[in-house]
């Protein structure tokens, strides 16, 4: 499992995985760096003996309500974390993937609804959908499936760290504008990834699942 620098959270995740009798390799590093991505894949293969499932889940977002205030540094940094990491990891992983293996990309409902205060984040998530579709067409002949999950508002540490940091009042109503009237929990999103990782989804590629509280996106 790759992570940036959240050692305590990573170690807790490792504890939970190992409690189920599984192995968990923790690899800290910035996935916006191509060399780090290649190292993550190689360490995984060397330690665990192979690679069958790649989940691209690195993400960051920062609120900017006017494009004139969106700095070049933030634009490039958001693309490095959200989009370029997916490219680097997928490219490195392909040498180790084969028939019935899978790539799962984490997009967002924002790719479809386009919130005006997350332009750079939304742009990366839209690009991920295009990448998912193109890579599916490129790899389907090799038996490798490529799909995406586009969650709606979900309670994760990213929300108070970004939305809450910009305006604490935003968290009070977070997710209430969904048809279900609430945000999701990570445990409600996880089954989508499990499904796409398993052969239960063997006839699905190039598609996006939408655990988003009932928002209709037609995509």
Task: State the average pLDDT over residues 147-171.
Answer: 90
What pTM value is reported for the model?
A: 0.95
For the residues 87-107, what does the mean pLDDT come to? 98
Give the long-range contacts of residues 172-178, CB within 8 A, separation 24 or more.
175/213, 178/152, 178/153, 178/212, 178/213, 178/214, 178/215
Which pLDDT band holds residue 113 (cuts at 50, 70, 90)?
Answer: very high
Work out the percent of the chain whose per-residue pLDDT is above 70: 100
CB-based contact 196:204 (threshold 8 Å): yes
Distance (Å, whole) CA 211 – CA 140: 24
Write down the catalytic residue from 3, 88, 112, 121.
Answer: 121
Share of the chain above pLDDT 90, in %: 90
Residue 170 pLDDT: 86
* Average pLDDT, integer, range 97-125: 98
Q: How far apart are CA 87 and CA 37, in angstroms?
A: 9
- Report the CATH fold assignment for 52-209: Rossmann fold (3.40.50)
**Secondary structure class of 62 (helix, strand, coil):** coil
Q: What is the pLDDT of residue 219?
A: 67
CA distances from 118 to 37, 38, 67 (A): 25, 29, 10
Contact criterion met (CB below 8 Å) for 137 and 103: no
DSSP structure string for 184-195? B-HHHHHHHHHH
Look at residue 88 in the predicted model and tell me its pLDDT. Answer: 98
Taking Cα atoms as reference points, which of 161, 162, 62, 152 lies closest to residue 107? 152
Quote the CA–CA distance of 209 and 14 in Å, as a whole number: 27
- Whether residue 128 is predicted with pLDDT greater than 90 in this model: the reply is yes
pLDDT at 164 > cutoff 90: no
121 is catalytic: yes
Domain limits, the chain: 52-209
Confidence of residue 157 (pLDDT cuts 50, 70, 90): confident
Report, as an integer, the average pLDDT of 7-29.
96
Mean pLDDT of the chain: 96
Give the whole-angstrom CA distance, residue 113 versus residue 23.
38
């Amino acid at each position: 499992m790759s992570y940036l620098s959240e050692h305590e959270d990573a170690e807790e995740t490792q504890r939970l995985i190992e409690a189920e009798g599984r192995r968990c390799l923790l690899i800290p590093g910035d996935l916006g760096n191509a060399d780090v991505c290649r190292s993550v894949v190689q360490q995984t293969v060397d330690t665990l003996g192979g690679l069958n499932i790649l989940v691209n889940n690195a993400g960051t977002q920062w609120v900017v309500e006017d494009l004139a205030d969106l700095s070049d540094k933030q634009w490039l940094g958001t693309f490095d974390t959200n989009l370029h990491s997916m490219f680097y990891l997928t490219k490195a992983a392909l040498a180790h993937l084969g028939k019935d293996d899978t790539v799962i990309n984490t997009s967002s409902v924002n790719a479809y609804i386009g919130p005006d205060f997350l332009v750079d984040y939304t742009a990366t998530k839209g690009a991920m959908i295009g990448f998912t579709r193109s890579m599916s067409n490129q790899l389907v002949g090799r038996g490798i499936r490529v799909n995406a999950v586009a969650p709606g508002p979900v309670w994760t540490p990213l929300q108070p760290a970004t939305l809450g940091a910009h305006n604490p009042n935003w968290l009070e109503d977070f997710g209430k504008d969904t048809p279900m009237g609430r945000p999701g929990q990570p445990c409600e999103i996880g089954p989508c990834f499990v499904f796409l990782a398993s052969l239960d989804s063997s006839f699905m590629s190039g598609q996006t699942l939408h655990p988003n509280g009932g928002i209709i996106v037609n995509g």
